[in-house]
Chain A
Amino acid sequence: MLNAKVLLTTTFVASTVFAQAPAPIAPPSANAPGAPADVSVKQRPTLTPEEMVNQSREYAKNMAEVLKRIQVLQDQAKREKDIIRLNCVTDKVVQVRVNMSIAEQSMASLQEAVTRADEGERTHEFTRLTIVNQKVQVLGAEAENCIGEDLSFVGATKVDIEIDPNIPQYDPTQPPAPGIDIERPGEASPLAG
């Protein structure tokens, strides 16, 4: 009878213990020395090739609008002869044009990849286009925030001079003003004058 109770209890406890899931393995800490960085792309675009092409065209259109807007800002700065702002906006224009050049190349490559049904190349070019578009949008925002002379230009050098009020304002080194004094003539003769 006693052996039967011990067997039953042991069985119950053991089943409870074995019923527990194994302890999870702690993930490797990012700061842990020697731990490799996770640089893998977790997600792939879910767009179809046609959607990618359409989206890239939308990107190109947006970038062209940004360039147009920055050129307007550039013309404004030229008209106002605000050299500080003009330099800033021109720098943005140059950067936008470079990025748009990259975008055009990516567009061409994207279309070729679509034609070849090369999914890897297509995804790569679309990713480049996305990044370039984001950079152009940032440049557009920066161009809008270019600050002109009124806020950043300190103006011409101004010198304040304090002159001792005791120093005469006129120039005492100049020759006397013309003017021959006239005085009452002396009595020339008791008989005349």
Chain B
Amino acid sequence: MNRRLALWVPLFATLLVARAASAQTAGQAEVTIGYQGLPYKASGEANTGIQVSDGVLLHVGAGAEAGYDTNVFYSNVDPIASPLIRTSVFGDLSNATRTGAAGRISFDARAGVVYRRYQSDDPNVDNFKNAWMPTAGLALSAGGGQFGFGIADTFARIEDPPYNPGELAPILRYNNQASVEGRWAPGGGRITATLRYTNMVDIFQNSYSYASTDSNYLLLDASWKWLPKTAIFVNAQQGYIFYLNEAEAAAANKESSFPLLVTAGLRGLLTERTSATLALGYTNGFYSGISSTGGLWGSTFADLSFTLRPTVLSRIVAGYRHEFQNAVVSTFSYNENLYASYVQQLAGRLALDLSVRYSHRNYQGQFVDMAQQLIGREDNFVQLGGTLDYFVRNWIYFGVGYSLMSNGSNIPTVEYVKQQMFVRLGLTY
């Protein structure tokens, strides 16, 4: 359901590489909340990239972060801290020009790998010291007139320490998202229709293996522009989510579902400097078990997002989203999300990114932990991220970063505060 806000800090470094591939083709201005991974290229820089051949540009980069993690295992009970280093390399091949225009047929292929190492001597950390997290992404798009076509695929392997230091294996996750879409814009392009199928295979290993899912979404979006960059739209999305490990899923009270989301609203510019997304609609999880979403508020989807660009080099985003989301700890959760982001570039050298998010999660349905079933569970999750990078040249940079994640809950054992501080250095061209 939540398609645009990446939430989990350690995922960013890996996911950004893969997700950017599809984002570029769609031409969207992605808003990411939390700690930002190593930059893809210098801010405002258009003269980088190796010209492999006519119309093919290769971007490459490598970077390293050294820092300190105050809470490796996401627990407020005897938190274990550790220094850590994180390195990454990536390559990006596309037919986009240095100015960004790609023509009627565009492609973008990216691949990268992140290596993370905890430097602690604590024996609890030993099993989780090293993690390799490869990513890959491919996006193809054709058309641009009346008809358009696009396919995209992103893959990421994510590895992170568990909540319980006593566990022997990390949380290991393989995620692949593929999509195919057709676009139709008859006449002068005022009316646009998009039909998209998205498949996500999400495979957990170890303690969360019961939560492995196959998610399928069919989306139909129609919009009418009454101004060149402002449109009203209707959007219908039908999903089908089922669990891959049926026996384990049944034991954990997991149920397949057919989530439906129908919204209408406005997308685009309000003024030259202000844009908005206003969407309001009906949603229902249609879970196959005994519990599902319901009620007036529970069946309501609301997404309000405002973007302000005070100058060419700065952007402020603020938003609110109400939705339900498939949950690992229970059947689903009602989420109230508030978020804000501030991005500022200074003199083409400095890049500042600050963002914060608050999420209230009211878990519902069948819980994995029966103790939580009895008392219910409500989490208040806060995420804050900040990075400041200075580009010495358009291909070399250094900077600092900070990340805060905090989870408050009516269940004290799941509460935690986690902070990470980094200095970072990298090359990108």
Q: Which residues of A contact B (CB under 8 A)?
A: 164-193
Q: Contacts A183-B8, A184-B11; is A173 near B2 (CB within 8 Å)? A: no
Instruction: Tell yes or no: B56 within 8 A of A by CB.
Output: no
Binds A, one of B26-34, B60-68, B385-393: B26-34
Whether A167 contacts B272 by the Cβ 8 Å rule is yes
Interface of A is mostly: loop
Contacts A/B (CB < 8 Å), 9 sampled: A170-B27, A173-B230, A173-B268, A177-B26, A179-B19, A184-B74, A187-B74, A187-B163, A187-B414
B413 interface contact, C-beta 8 A = yes
A98 to B10, CA, bound (A): 89
Chain B residues with a Cβ under 8 A of chain A: 2-8, 10-11, 15, 19, 22-23, 25-30, 74, 100, 152, 154, 156, 158, 160, 162-164, 167, 171, 173, 175, 177, 179, 181, 192, 194, 196, 198, 200, 202, 204, 207-208, 211, 215, 217, 219, 221, 223, 225, 229-231, 233, 235, 252, 267-269, 272-273, 275, 309, 311-312, 327-329, 361, 368-369, 371-372, 379, 407, 413-414
Residue of B nearest to A163 (CB): B272
Taking a contact as CB atoms under 8 Å apart, the answer to whether B162 and A170 are in contact is no
A175:B233 contact, CB within 8 angstroms: yes
CA distance A169 to B368 in the complex (A): 46
Please tell me if the beta carbons of B275 and A168 are within 8 angstroms of each other in the complex. yes
> A170, B28: Cβ atoms under 8 Å?
yes
Indicate if the CB atoms of A185 and B7 lie closer than 8 Å.
no
Contact A182 B158 (CB under 8 A): yes
Cross-chain contact B369 with A184 (CB below 8 angstroms): no
By a CB distance below 8 angstroms, the chain A residues around B275 are 168, 172
Q: A173-B231, A180-B177, A182-B156 are in contact. Are A192 and B328 (CB under 8 A)?
A: no
**Residue from A169, A173, A179 within 8 A of B23 (CB atoms):** A179
> Which residues of the other chain, B, contact A183 by a CB distance below 8 angstroms?
6-8, 11
- Main DSSP-derived SS at the B contact region: mixed
Looking across the interface, which residue of chain B has its beta carbon closest to that of A164? B272
Residues of B within 8 A of A165 (CB): 312
Chain B residue numbers with a CB within 8 Å of A193 are 162-164, 167, 171, 207-208
- Given A179-B3, A184-B11, the answer on whether A174 and B369 have CB atoms closer than 8 Å is no
A177 to chain B, nearest CB (A): 4
Chain A residues whose C-beta falls within 8 Å of the C-beta of B158 in the assembled complex: 182
Q: Which of A172, A182, A186 has the most CB of B within 10 A?
A: A186
What chain A residues lie within 8 Å of B327 (beta carbons)? 186
User: When the two chains form their complex, are residues A172 and B215 in contact, meaning their CB atoms are under 8 A apart?
Assistant: no
Distance in angstroms between the alpha carbons of A171 and B225 in the assembled complex: 11
Q: Is the CB of A175 within 8 A of B221?
A: yes
Quote the shortest CB–CB distance from B197 to chain A (angstroms): 9
Residue in A164, A178, A181, A186 whose beta carbon sits within 8 Å of that of B6 in the complex: A181
Please determine whether A173 and B225 come into contact, CB atoms closer than 8 angstroms: yes
A181's partner among B7, B163, B211, B225 (CB-CB below 8 A) is B7
Inter-chain CA distance A156–B3, complex, in Å, is 45
In Å, the complex CA distance between A193 and B272 comes to 48
Besides the known contacts A168-B269, A176-B4, 7 further A-B residue pairs in the complex with CB atoms under 8 A apart = A172-B275, A173-B223, A173-B268, A175-B196, A182-B11, A190-B369, A193-B207
Question: Considering residues B2, B26, B100, B275, which has the most beta carbons from chain A within 10 angstroms of its beta carbon?
Answer: B26
B-side contacts of A169, CB under 8 Å: 100
